[in-house]
Structure 1
Amino acid sequence: MTAETTRTRAVDETAARAVVDNVGKAWADNNPDAFADAYTADGTMILSGDRFIQGREVIRAMAKQQFATAHKGTTLLQNVIDVRPVGEAGAVVITDGGVLAPGETAPHPDREIRATWVLEKQDGNWLIAAYQNTRNADGRLPGA
């Protein structure tokens, strides 16, 4: 691997982590616009179970509704556990974490998730092309 490749991968990892951090900040601020603007125009979300959301404006509407109701006052814990460049304009990020209720420092086991983020660089900006999360509880064996 050349020094240039190593430097580019480091920049990509920094940029990828910034996308995750910005989504967390938008969530903490209950800012549906900043949250949705992190996605490509045709970005997708697959949330635990079978909830499929497609398109930045649909994501914006969903975030607006959720930040006003179920997720009002919550924050996200998103620990980046892996970042891998994909070509010159893509990256895959894996995170562990979940939704934190006010006062929590760790998510309740029912709200622990692992997520996959597929990022795409468009016009110099890193955006989320696809996001999918799975509740850790969904993968636990009964009695575990």
Structure 2
Amino acid sequence: MHEKTSADEAAIHELFEKLLADWCRGDGEAYGSRFTEDADYVAFDGTLIEGRAEIASSHQKLFDGFLKGSRLTGRIERVRFLGPDVALVRATGDTVMPGKSRPSPERRSIQTLVAVRRDGEWRFAAFHNTRVRPIEGGFAAFLLWALTDRLWRAFGPGGAARG
């Protein structure tokens, strides 16, 4: 493991804050610019998006459609440097939908990101987003998990309601 520097950690935090701000502005191009050209992006539903251009394009479609006017909130929980130019980042995130003042609990996510420094600049080379769905939280938590899982299978891409 590599010893972190406060400047590097601050740069990674700033990169993450810019990512959140880009989302809140609905700017897919800026959002995509926070990633490397060859980045891997795994969305909460398991969809894989490859490359900066596709990340920008797919997010602009979301910002212009279903997520128009939404806000992304989040924070970095931990930065662990794996080398002088590579860091593993764990963050949390919540999407606040239009007209709402707080995120819905079912939109709470945890993310794992890989930040890399190339030509003196930090960008994300990988992003993996997972919705928080603890099933050990009692019967009510299990019901919420089971219901959202069933709805996703029914109405998500490839679900019976779409096909």
TM-score range, shorter chain: 0.7 to 0.9
Give the conservation status (yes or no) of the 8 Å contact 1:12–1:85: no
Which amino acid letter does the alignment assign opposite residue 135 of structure 2? Answer: R
What SS class does the counterpart of residue 5 from structure 2 fall into? helix
Residue 100 (str. 1) matches residue 103 (str. 2): no
Structure 2 distance, partners of 1:103, 1:70, is 13
2:29–2:57: 8 Å Cα contact kept in structure 1? no
Give the counterpart of 1:50 among 40, 46, 50: 46
Q: Letter of the aligned partner of 2:140 in structure 1?
A: G
Deviations 1:34-72 (A, max 9, x none): 100100000011112321110111111101101100111
Q: Could you list the structure 1 runs, at least 4 aligned residues long, displaced by more than 4 angstroms after superposition.
A: none
Cα deviation 1:53-109 (Å, max 9, x = unaligned):
101111111011011001111111112111111201011111112111235454211
% identical equivalent positions: 27
Q: Distance in 1 between matches of 2:64 and 2:50?
A: 20
> If you compute each CA radius of gyration, which structure gives the higher value, 1 or 2?
2
More strand by share: 1
8 Å CA contact retained: 2:68, 2:98: no
Q: TM-score normalised to the size of structure 1? A: 0.88
Structure of greater relative contact order (alpha carbons < 8 Å, 6+ residues apart): 1
Query: Partner letter of residue 117 of structure 1?
Result: L
Match of 2:35 among 36, 39, 42: 39
Aligned-residue RMSD, C-alpha = 1.5
- Cα 1:43/1:122, change in 2 over 3 Å: same
Residues paired across the two proteins, number: 137
- TM-score, normalised with respect to structure 2: 0.78
